[in-house]
Amino acid sequence: MTLVATPPANARISGSLRRYPYLSDLVRRTITVNWATTTTVDAGSVRWGRPGHCSAHRTNASRTGITVGSTSEYQWKAQLKGLKRGKRYCYRVFGASKSLIGHHKPTFRAQIPRRSRAPFSFAVFGDWGTVDAGGNNAGQAKLMTHIARSGATFAVTTGDTAYPSGSQTNYGDLVQHGADTSTIFGRQFWTKAGDRIPLFNAQGNHGMNATALVNWPQGNTASISRGAYRMQTYCCRNRTNAASYPSAWYAFNAGPARFYVLQASWADSNVGDSTLYRNDFDAHWRRRRAEYRWLRHDLRTHHRPVAFAFFHFPLYADNSHEGSDHLLHGRGGLEHLLGSHGVDIVFNGHAHIYQRNRRSGRHMPISYVTGGGGAKPEPVSNCSRVDAYAIGWSESASTHGSACGSAHRPTSIDQVFNFLLVRVDGRTVTVAPTNANGHRFDVRTYRFG
């Protein structure tokens, strides 16, 4: 592991700052600001307000001790309250009385009011946070730049954040790099976008530990929606071992839409005599399981013109290694539960590809796989009947990738790294996939309701 000076280009930062400020838990009139410092900083706060009055309010922060590599650090968070919904705000983070980011004042937009008719956009991506032995990932770095410039009000992942295990070292900081280090909070990556684009993180099979709950506080969103955001002991179906895993599912509103961030994942290291998909189904999606019951109740009691769901294991994916989760299909399955209650689009990850799927049946949701956020892309094959457009890549094919549906085979790996920019304008939704070159492809507009 090597120590390097890698401050963000857009600010003169304090030498004690270790994670550049980033945002989470954007719900109703609140938001959480997060950052990390050396342990020499013993007090933290955020000064914030409307543009032109960025120091109108002050909110004190709380801290949690973490270890990145062999270095002890403090992870800080401060929940800003009383925001005017849909309005712009600016802020700075402080250690004691000293600004940690100089005179820079990042801005964000408070959550969109329920009755707002103003269009807004959000970004979706997944399977990200990986670097080579030198600490680099050019495709992921390009995507982060495009997301930062996209105009998205917030972002939602489809799981698998920070490879290989979702540890604090994998997440990293501004000054350490190397193999599997600073894959998220390194200067090249979420640092580019996180100070102004709040992120809602879905749980994947990589990183089934408490780190994600610490790094992406969403407790207020979970509490308001009566969801879950905590560690829980799971035992011991299919001869798996008793283990403490995150239980992370919740919902929130933005404008006319309701968003469901769900958990469809299981740990690779605890399969027992079954499979990842079966263990996830038994833990979360049998009808008496807590997540299934919570989701069914929320769908029945929160009717919205437009609804989206985000979870890791894919409904449909034409990838031989990480394919369709058939246990989520069929009457009584998750797909049917979502479709029968009016969820319009499902976004999944797990397979490191891009894929757009047709509805599998009447009233079933449209689904996308966006698992190309930075992890090594994978090929598509055995194209299914619902696959409308899919692209993938294999390292064994040096000149072209693979494709299904109406897609053309990609000619470079950067065409497979992707995120989706989704624009909501009333009941009209446009999904614009964007690759690492900044090119949009397979853009689709839907009219729901």
In 3D space, the residue among 435, 26, 38, 60 whose CA is nearest the CA of residue 261 turns out to be 26
- 15: Cβ contacts below 8 Å, ≥ 6 apart: none
24 within 8 A of 61, measured Cβ to Cβ: no
Element spanning 335, H or E: helix 334-340
Q: What is the pLDDT of residue 338?
A: 97
249 within 8 A of 290, measured Cβ to Cβ: no
Spacing of C-alpha 448 from chain mean position: 24
Q: What is the pLDDT of residue 3?
A: 39
Q: What is the pLDDT of residue 34?
A: 98
Q: What is the pLDDT of residue 398?
A: 66
Backbone angles phi, psi at 87, to 5 degrees: -90, 160
Q: What is the pLDDT of residue 372?
A: 97
Q: Tens digit of pLDDT for each residue in 171-181? A: 999 999 999 99
391 within 8 A of 143, measured Cβ to Cβ: no
Per-domain boundaries in the chain: 2-109, 120-447
Q: What is the pLDDT of residue 14?
A: 86
Q: Give just the sign of the alpha carbon dihedral 385, 386, 391, 394.
A: negative
6 within 8 A of 186, measured Cβ to Cβ: yes
User: What is the mean pLDDT of each successive set of 10 residues along the chain, which is 449 residues long?
Assistant: 44 88 98 98 97 97 97 98 97 95 96 94 98 96 98 98 98 96 98 98 97 97 98 96 97 97 97 97 96 98 95 97 95 94 97 97 96 96 96 82 96 97 97 98 95
CA distance to 39, 315, 381, per residue, from 387 (Å): 51, 11, 11
Q: What is the pLDDT of residue 5?
A: 36
Q: Tens digit of pLDDT for each residue in 80-139? A: 999 999 999 999 999 998 999 999 999 999 999 988 999 999 999 999 999 999 999 999
CATH architecture of 120-447: 4-Layer Sandwich (3.60)
Write the CATH number of the domain with boundaries 2-109: 2.60.40.380
